[in-house]
Amino acid sequence: MATIVILAVLLVLAVNIRVVHPQQAYVIERLGAYHTVWYTGTRLLIPLIDRVAVKVFLGEQVVDFSPYEGTTQKGQPIQAQTSVFFQVSDPKLYVYALENPMLVLEEAAQRSLKKGLSGIEEENLELLEDPFQELRQVSTKYRIEVRRIALKLTPADSDPIELLF
């Protein structure tokens, strides 16, 4: 009988041991509410009380946003494809502050592109200065570090132009 109890306790402990790998963070909830964030190491969940709500990758990630269709200063159509390279700095804010952080970043990128491209002539697209100030402000607010932004501009009648900000 004592052997069965010992085996049951060992089984419960073994099932609740978590190894948090480098470049990851686990957001832990206790009784359904935020409790803490676990970083690299071996941890033990309290059975039936704690749970891993979300595993957040802390390394550099890339997201491609849907193409933006806009016009230049002269009214010429242009398509812009944006890729954002980012890193999550605060897993708690990333999980709880916004329902869909990537959608918020995409909308900020679209607004930034609309402002940046509407005031430039097609001949000067290579000289475009960083139009993503609004995206950088929004990402900073939620502790998402934007490392770099790749922008591919495709004017209606010419070759694509690739820029890195």
75-104 mean pLDDT: 91
Identify whether residues 158 and 101 lie together within a single domain: yes
Among 17, 40, 57, give the residue marking a domain's end.
Answer: 57
Q: pLDDT tens digits for 21-39?
A: 999 999 999 999 999 999 9
List the domain range (segments joined by +) for residue 83: 61-164
CA distances from 71 to 14, 76, 104, 163 (A): 59, 5, 23, 18
Task: Tell me: pLDDT of 117 over 80.
Answer: no
With 0-12 CB in 10 A as exposed, 13-18 as middle and 19+ as buried, what is 68? buried
Q: Please indicate, yes or no, whether the overall pTM of this predicted structure exceeds 0.85.
A: no
Residue 25 φ/ψ, nearest 5 degrees: -140, 140
Identify whether residues 77 and 115 lie together within a single domain: yes
Q: How many helices (H) and strands (E) does the chain have?
A: 4, 10
Q: pLDDT tens digits for 150-164?
A: 999 888 777 888 888
Identify whether residues 41 and 119 lie together within a single domain: no
Summary mean pLDDT of the chain? 88
Identify whether residues 102 and 24 lie together within a single domain: no
Which own/partner contact pairs does 92-100 have at CB distance under 8 Å and 24+ positions apart?
92/27, 92/34, 92/37, 93/142, 93/143, 94/56, 94/142, 94/143, 94/144, 95/27, 95/53, 95/54, 95/56, 96/34, 97/142, 98/142
